[in-house]
């Protein structure tokens, strides 16, 4: 896996620099991959341009067969990819299996749109004229993939690109490039996509991401990552007014009403926080519980969070969490909690790095005694930390939930129909989960408000991101 995948073949990068990949559970070296550069990006774009016309002209059902074939191949290699996910990203066995299942489903689900890439026919204001809206592939797509779901999010970029006829160039995270390269190997050996339609280039944001986002022949750059990364991509894309599709950070609120089923709320809030060790942009990042039920809720939450198990997924089974991705992430979570405590927050459970001598572990943590305006309630914390604050009335909690730079996901726990309807209509977030955990479905539309992104993914609206529209004015004569 020490080569990049360009124009249907594995080849050496034009640079000698390497990126080391480390197991976050043990801090042990796994492998190294090329830190490719602008010349490699240009080669990939040239290959994509060469195949673009013939690829676009294939009937969508033919392109969909490739997506279905990829889905089947991933299923056949599920165990290998699952172990690689556990190794390079620190996923638990159950979470790695879930990601593989979602990836398999995503390619097959998107293939189903092959006969539904529909335009429209509109009556003209003029006599003897019909207007036709025709959907076409947008062109070459650059897909920048994060480390927290390196296969599932790759599928989010690649599957709709393949079905719509857009050559796609994937830049995986430098933390988790091995799964993407392994998938490229599987596709190369078993699927035989036309050369240039699917390519994988490893590297850093500056060495690969920026040249990809700023290249005039790229039609769209689709990035899932941090707000900082999204801002840099927007800046690079602006040079040639390239379309951006961005899924960025989140600070999802979970509202627990005094009419909630508290046991259900505790179960689902924890599930919404510790999944993937708290490293998901849709995770519940702040809890607002009604003051009338705050005491029993916090007691139940603390008890359950203290029992969340974590460790090395390759050495232990049945774990709830693995490690954080790297030392930088671990230090950032520790700093956020320490600052909150210094500002007056109370640690109900956790609040420390894990006891293991190696690996990047942080204890499942509950914080209370918070005040509005604290940074722990405002800044994204990519780790298993739950700040819990109280509220008095529904107007107040809606205001506080919406008072965020981010607007990706949110949730409410209540048996009150009016509270549900108010939350669904008044929370300014791309997703509102009602009495359930924060995890989106592939047939929905995963999109954020404010600094959480531009555009979206999944479902019929997600695939439209990969399509451009041409309006044909069809005038005819009756003579």
Active site residues: 247
Strand bridging mode 243-247 / 218-224? parallel
3-class state of residue 430 by DSSP: coil
H or E stretch including 299? helix 294-305
H or E stretch including 432? strand 431-434
Nearest by Cα to 148 from 326, 407, 379, 351: 326
Distance spanning both ends of the chain, measured CA to CA: 67
CB burial of residue 465 (10 Å; 0-12, 13-18, 19+): buried
Q: Residue 328 to residues 29, 97, 175, 358: CA-CA distances in angstroms?
A: 17, 26, 12, 14
What radius of gyration do the chain's Cα atoms show?
A: 23
Q: Residue 60 to residues 110, 222, 312: CA-CA distances in angstroms?
A: 11, 21, 43
Count how many residues are written for the chain.
479
Where on the phi/psi map is residue 57: left (φ > 0), alpha (ψ -120 to 50), or beta? alpha
Nearest-10 crossing angle of helices 152-164, 93-111: 10
Indicate if the alpha-carbon torsion angle 195, 161, 46, 186 is positive or negative.
negative
Pull the structure tokens for residue 55.
């690829």
């Amino acid at each position: 896996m020490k080569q990049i995948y360009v124009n249907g073949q594995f080849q050496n990068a034009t640079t000698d620099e390497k990126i080391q990949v480390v197991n976050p559970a043990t801090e042990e070296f796994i492998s190294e991959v090329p830190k490719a550069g602008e010349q490699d990006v240009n080669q990939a774009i040239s290959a994509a341009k060469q195949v673009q016309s013939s690829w676009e002209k294939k009937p969508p059902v033919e392109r969909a067969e490739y997506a279905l074939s990829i889905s089947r191949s991933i299923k056949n290699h599920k165990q290998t990819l699952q172990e690689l996910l556990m190794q390079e990203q620190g996923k638990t066995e159950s979470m790695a299996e879930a990601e593989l299942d979602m990836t398999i489903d995503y390619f097959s689900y998107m293939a189903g749109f092959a006969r539904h890439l529909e335009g429209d026919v509109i009556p003209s204001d003029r006599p003897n004229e019909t207007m036709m809206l025709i959907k076409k592939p947008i062109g070459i797509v650059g897909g920048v993939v994060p480390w927290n779901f390196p296969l599932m999010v790759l599928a989010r970029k690649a599957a709709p690109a393949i079905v719509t006829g857009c050559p796609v160039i994937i830049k995986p995270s430098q933390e988790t490039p091995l799964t993407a390269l392994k998938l490229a190997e599987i596709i190369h050996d078993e699927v035989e996509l036309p050369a240039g339609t699917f390519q994988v280039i490893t590297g850093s944001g500056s060495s690969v991401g920026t040249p990809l986002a700023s290249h005039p022949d790229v039609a769209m750059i689709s990035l899932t990552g941090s707000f900082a990364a999204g801002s840099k991509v927007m800046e690079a894309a602006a040079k040639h007014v390239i379309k951006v599709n961005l899924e960025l950070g989140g600070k999802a609120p979970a509202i627990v009403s005094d009419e909630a089923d508290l046991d259900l709320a505790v179960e689902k809030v924890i599930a919404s926080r510790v999944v993937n060790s708290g490293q998901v942009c849709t995770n519940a990042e702040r809890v607002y519980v009604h003051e009338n039920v705050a005491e029993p809720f916090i007691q139940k939450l603390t008890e359950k969070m203290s029992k969340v198990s974590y460790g090395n997924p390759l050495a232990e089974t049945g774990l709830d969490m693995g490690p954080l991705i790297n030392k930088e992430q671990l230090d950032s979570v520790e700093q956020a909690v320490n600052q909150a405590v210094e500002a007056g927050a109370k640690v109900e459970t956790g609040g420390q790095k894990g006891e293991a001598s190696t690996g990047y572990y942080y204890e499942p943590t509950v914080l209370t005694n918070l005040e509005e305006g604290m940074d722990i309630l405002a800044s994204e914390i990519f780790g298993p930390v739950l700040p819990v604050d109280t509220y008095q009335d529904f107007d107040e909690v809606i205001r506080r939930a919406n008072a965020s730079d981010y607007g990706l996901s949110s949730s409410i726990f209540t048996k009150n129909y009016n509270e549900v309807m108010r939350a669904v209509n008044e929370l300014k977030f791309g997703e509102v989960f009602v009495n359930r955990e924060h995890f989106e479905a592939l047939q929905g539309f995963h999109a954020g408000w404010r600094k959480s992104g531009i555009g979206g993914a999944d479902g019929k609206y997600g695939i439209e991101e990969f399509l451009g529209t041409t309006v044909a004015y069809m005038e005819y004569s009756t003579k």
